[in-house]
Chains A and B, each alone.
Chain A
């Protein structure tokens, strides 16, 4: 896979890690993900848009609260509970890039990408609804899938999976 961004030429062969606009790049399964701080997220997305990554395909998040394994993060990125995942695509280079942003539990706030890619509007609302991550600068940050009066954020790992107790005939008790 070729890296179409001009900044990749600036990688210092001595220091090892590949950088994209100063953010460390991790390659796995033939895919490229870039670990970027939330302060630099908007600037990086803007810069990538000008380089041809003109479409924001997906915005989602992961709650790493109960993740048992070791997360493969580059050295200077400290793991936080939440991770925002932004998928960008460049039609000209036919290439995808994934941005992963660590979001701390006690301050789950990230800048909205709405100004750069208006298409992230519904996706950011979904992330807010499901994970409680707030997007600064989003025009209408309200719940999108859950009812307005719902308490909690369902895709967080400490939110229990809903169950309806079923009493089977002859069974000792509901599971």
Chain B
């Protein structure tokens, strides 16, 4: 190519670029043709995460197709398989995906900003709406961070109730994945089965918390209410109902040749790549790396219960499916142990400055009324400091970073959403695959857009 060619090409692409910016309001968040995007960007969008030699890098960005053979297409944000409002720009060579760029922000509602104007007691109502498929984990991590700053010790029963509810929530979240993953891949009946089982776990959550989702049940200092009468029977009934249904999933999906064809060897990722990209949860475990915060850095009372950390071996979509399916079984096992070992005692800390008094006390005690009033209007003051707490949500490491300036509201509340970080693995897992597999890969990441965009 001569020098004049290059400059005229550049002008052409600059023109295309301007036109693209003009036609959409997203401007530079878009994916551009290779020449406009430039070296590092192209590498990132082709999913190169590990350092390459200079020669390899040059090879990667210069090989491939003269301009015109590839097409940049847009997938989403309104696409049934993008789990909400995820938008992907894909560069295709025929049916093959060369580059991918996720474009997010369509569900951004400024929840971290909102968190700064809510008191610590109101905080869980806000964070619970982030990852709406596993709301209790959001409440848990926020409450743990607040308690770390307050320096309060939560009663044992509250800890075990939290564990019970979180494992129930993990089951419902993974069942939701089973349903949507099945539908994304064409097993539409799976959608109904997954939903059916999820509804049964949600019925238990509703019985305990009053709501199917967005519970605001786990609060700083404990939980909102004690477990209702008959909770043991409900849990045991679930532990009996779900395993045979999981066996049915195995028949419908796991052992089925079409299912395996669609998932095995699709969306590959290695341990090094997952670590470099910050991926956690089933994505990291699918590579054979046994990292589960419940086991490796225990919180609550996970060091006292017995469970297996499920890992895959190939890092493909099938491993991620199988890990989640098996994690439902492990969670059921944990739930069974919790039923046996649930301690008695208080379900929230008996600290009058943190916990509102019981309703009956308000009628007879002036101090109780004052505390009640102060906690619900002004809120309780949290000592200055900053803290980062992480838990293992169904999607990976869910972290909460709170900075307190000594007032009743967090000075800064940041949630490290696993889906947000895990989305970065998409360009890598998609590269070189078929457009039909893109749906399988997105589904196996299991992003919840409420948490991605927050």
Interface residues of A (CB under 8 A from B): 28-31, 33, 54-58, 60, 62-63, 67-70, 72, 85, 87, 91, 94, 96, 98, 117-123, 126, 130, 139-140, 142-149, 154-155, 161-162
Q: Which residues of A contact B296 (CB under 8 A)?
A: 91, 94
A–B Cβ pairs within 8 angstroms, 7 of them: A29-B148, A30-B148, A58-B414, A91-B296, A119-B424, A123-B278, A126-B420
A117: chain B residues at CB < 8 Å are: 276, 278
Let me know if B44 and A58 touch, CB within 8 A.
no
Complex CA distance for A56 and B390, rounded to whole angstroms: 14
Which candidate, B5-13, B23-31, B129-137, B433-441, is the interface stretch facing chain A? Answer: B23-31
User: Which residues of chain A have C-beta atoms less than 8 A from B411's C-beta?
Assistant: 62, 67
A41 to B278, CA, bound (A): 19
Q: Tell me whether A147 and B403 are in contact (CB under 8 A).
A: no
In the bound assembly, the distance between CA atoms of A67 and B410 in angstroms comes to 11
Give CA–CA (A130, B453) in the complex, Å.
12
Among the stretches B102-110, B180-188, B315-323, B368-376, the one at the interface with A is: B102-110
Q: Is the CB of B49 within 8 A of A29?
A: no
Chain B residues contacting A60 (CB-CB under 8 Å) are 401, 414, 416
B301: Cβ under 8 A from any A Cβ: no
Which of B65-73, B336-344, B352-360, B380-388 touches A?
B380-388
* Chain A contacts for B401, CB-based, 8 A: 58, 60, 85, 87
A54 touches B423 (CB 8 A): no
B: residues with CB less than 8 A from A are 25-29, 38, 40-41, 44, 49, 104-105, 108, 110, 112-114, 116-117, 148-149, 151, 275-280, 291, 296-297, 384-388, 390, 397, 399, 401, 403, 405-407, 411-412, 414, 416, 420-421, 423-424, 453-454
In the complex formed, the residue of A with least CB distance to B110 is A154
Known: A60-B401, A122-B423. A149 touches B25 (CB 8 A): yes
- The complex places the Cα of A54 from the Cα of B146 at a distance, in Å, of 28
Among B387, B405, B414, B424, the residue within 8 A (CB) of A122 is B424
| Distance (whole angstroms) from the CB of A62 to the closest CB of chain B | 5
Task: For B29, give its contact among A58, A96, A144 (CB under 8 Å).
Answer: A144
* CB-nearest residue of chain A to B101: A140
Quick one: which of B278, B291, B297, B399 has the most chain A CB within 10 A?
A: B278
Q: Is the CB of A31 within 8 A of B27?
A: no
Closest chain-B Cβ to A122's Cβ sits at a distance in Å of 5
Given known A-B contacts A123-B421, A145-B453, A70 and B384 have beta carbons under 8 A apart: yes
Q: Are A161 and B113 in contact (CB under 8 A)?
A: yes
Q: Which of B104, B110, B151, B403 contacts A144 (CB 8 A)?
A: B104
On chain B, the residues within 8 Å of A122 by CB distance are: 420-421, 423-424
Task: Report the minimal beta-carbon distance from A145 to chain B, rounded to whole angstroms.
Answer: 4
Instruction: Check B412–A62 contact: CB distance below 8 A.
Output: yes
CA distance A141 to B416 in the complex (A): 20
Within 8 Å by CB of A67, from B291, B405, B416, B420, lies B405
Asked if residues B112 and A155 are in contact (CB atoms below 8 Å), the reply is yes
Q: Are A118 and B416 in contact (CB under 8 A)?
A: no
Residue of B nearest to A85 (CB): B401
Q: CA separation between A67 and B110, bound complex, in Å? A: 20
Expressed in whole angstroms, the minimum distance between the Cβ of B427 and any Cβ of chain A is 10
- CB-based contact A57/B399 at 8 Å: yes
Asked if A119 contacts B105 (CB within 8 A), the reply is: no
Q: Across the interface, do B105 and A144 meet the contact criterion of CB distance under 8 Å?
A: yes
Query: Given the known A-B contacts A29-B148, A58-B401, A147-B25, are A118 and B49 also in contact in the complex, defined by CB atoms under 8 Å?
Result: yes
CA distance A55 to B399 in the complex (A): 14
With A54-B275, A57-B278 known to touch, is A87 a contact of B27 (CB < 8 Å)?
no
Within 8 Å by CB of A55, from B275, B385, B423, lies B275
A161-B279 Cα distance, complex, nearest whole Å: 32
A121 touches B424 (CB 8 A): yes
Residues of A within 8 A of B420 (CB): 122-123, 126
What is the CA–CA distance of A58 and B416 in the complex, to the nearest angstrom?
6
Are B291 and A91 closer than 8 Å at their CB atoms? yes
CA distance A109 to B225 in the complex (A): 47
Determine the chain A residues whose CB is within 8 A of the CB of B27 once the complex forms: 142, 148-149
